[in-house]
Amino acid sequence: MTVSFEEYAALARQLSEQRRAGEQHAATEAARRRDLHAAVDYLQQRLTAQGHRLDQLGRAIGIDQPPPGPPSNAGSAPSAPGPGSAPSTAPGTGDGEDAGAAGAPGRPGGGAYPELPAGEARLALPTAVSPAGAGVPTQRAAAVDPTVELELARRMADEADRHGQQAEVLAQRPALLPTWSPLARAVAVYAGCGVAAGVLVLALVLASGVGLVDGFTLGAWICAGLPAVAFFGGYLVLGRWGRPAMVAGTPPRYLPLGFLICFLVVPMAYCAYLLLVRGLR
């Protein structure tokens, strides 16, 4: 059978086109693999950074790392046989048992697996099906598309970033009046401590009326003692509950403002009490 020149040329062109298609497919596949490796490296860097950031957040809010699990007792020494237990047989004893009977699974007298009754053993242990038999074929694993899996992992990483940003926003808010500004929070805390000290002033005035406290002690507590107690109380409250979990440095506590508020509220409470008593009279 002779091949004409035209047929030979057509065959050569077909082979050349197939070769070019194969080279183009190989180049496309190589580029796709490079893109996949680059996406995997970028995603791994993101996950590593997220892990470090989560560790920082955990340390900031006082969450320690989980303790390691209890050590497994796989390498522990076997316990000594108790009274009445059957001793393990040694090789060459003549009782028909070899040295590996205690560790061979499924043998009578072997301790590797618990023994089951005949009926339960038939239900628990599956029967082997030969390839030529008519058994049910095993389910084949579905093909995994790396591009789809990377896209899912990227979406999960984006979701983790979003939740991490929300956690950082919450961690930058103090436990006490989190939506208030630092100045408004300080004014509220110092004013509240001053009002509490004003209630104590009223208690001291009542005690002075019945002769339990003299006038000098009452004046000292009203002018200096209780205002100082209210000021230091507000200072400690702002330092304990007015500080965010994640903050650089010490947040402002507005000491001059707190001093002014506390040393004004307590005498004003006493003056208000006097005006109220005179008004009732």
Lowest mean pLDDT segment, chosen from 47-51, 133-137, 219-223: 133-137
Gap between the Cα atoms of 91 and 125, Å rounded: 31
Question: ∠ CA(177), CA(180), CA(183), 5° rounding?
Answer: 110
Tokens 């002779």 sit at which residue?
A: 2
**Which ranges constitute the DSSP H helices of the chain?**
5-60, 118-124, 146-171, 182-209, 215-220, 226-241, 255-280
Gap between the Cα atoms of 60 and 6, Å rounded: 80
Gap between the Cα atoms of 129 and 117, Å rounded: 23
What are the C-alpha distances in Å from 221 to residues 60, 190, 191, 269?
A: 40, 18, 18, 13
Long-range CB contacts for residues 71-76, cutoff 8 Å, separation at least 24? none
User: Burial, 258: exposed, middle or buried (Cβ in 10 Å; 0-12, 13-18, 19+)?
Assistant: buried
DSSP state of 135: P
Gap between the Cα atoms of 227 and 223, Å rounded: 7
Cβ-based neighbours of 111, under 8 Å, separated by 6 or more: 102, 103
- Tell me the pTM: 0.53
pLDDT for the residue 260: 93
Q: Give the helix, strand, coil percentages of the chain, each rounded to 5.
A: 60, 0, 40
239 closest CA partner among 255, 251, 247: 251
pLDDT tens for residues 148-191?
A: 888 898 899 899 889 888 888 888 888 899 889 999 999 999 99
Please give the structure tokens belonging to residue 253.
Answer: 């506590």
pLDDT tens for residues 51-82?
A: 888 888 777 776 665 555 554 444 444 444 44
SS3 call for 3: coil
pLDDT tens for residues 80-134?
A: 444 444 443 444 444 444 444 444 444 444 444 444 454 444 444 444 444 444 4
H or E segment at 73?
A: none
Find how far residue 124's CA is from the centre of its chain. 40
User: Burial, 185: exposed, middle or buried (Cβ in 10 Å; 0-12, 13-18, 19+)?
Assistant: buried
